[in-house]
Amino acid sequence: MTDLFTWEISLSTALLALALGYLLGSIPFGLLLTKAAGLGDIRSIGSGNIGATNVLRTGNKKLAAATLLLDAFKATAGALLAGALWGPEAAILGGFAAFIGHLFPVWLGFKGGKGVATYIGTLLGVAPAMVLVFAFVWLTVAKLSRYSSLSALVATLVIPVALWIVGEQKIALVMAVMTVISYWKHKANIERLINGTESRIGQKG
């Protein structure tokens, strides 16, 4: 715990890792795929964001699945590439920056997705075993509540705690920051959950 805030990575290397991760994370796969498929601008329907959930609203499940995977793997790539070039601390920063890039892509006026896929992708790059923990929590909450948003919110809350318990304090710290940002991005979902108006999994309309 004493070196939680003591990072060996230099400032210049940290900035390179952050820049690499951000550039990868800011690739708007949901927007690119739907436009390539002739479905128009994904930002003009549903929630208006570029993530897989909104792509699914086009009715194209294959595109939604592709968006989910690509949004996850761009964060994994950010972590793995930064890690290969500059070490494990750079990997954490690369994954974090990819998450930020997805949420706030400069190319789209800083209006991106909500980041669940890139959160998972970052985990895959820096603490792959925790993806199983995330999946277990998500599936359990989803089965009990039938709320996708609640499942993601609970899972992102559990992950930093689980990482801390297994001794990965630095990763836990960064993932905790990502959890806070994710909650902020899900504020409309949280309001609907409180009001009882959030759509359940499989619910029509």
Residues 123-142: tens digit of each pLDDT: 999 999 999 999 999 999 99
More confident residue, 43 or 182: 182
pLDDT in tens, 50-65: 888 788 788 788 988 9
* Residue of 199, 178, 202 whose CA lies nearest to 188: 199
Residue 2: predicted pLDDT: 46
Q: What is the mean pLDDT of residues 8-33?
A: 95
Q: CA 154 to CA 26: how far, in whole Å? A: 25
Q: CA 14 to CA 86: how far, in whole Å? A: 9
Q: CA 143 to CA 123: how far, in whole Å? A: 23
User: Phi and psi (nearest 5°) for 39?
Assistant: -100, 5
Q: CA 57 to CA 27: how far, in whole Å? A: 20
* Residue of 42, 84, 44 whose CA lies nearest to 66: 42
Q: What is the DSSP letter of 152?
A: H
Q: CA 100 to CA 117: how far, in whole Å? A: 12
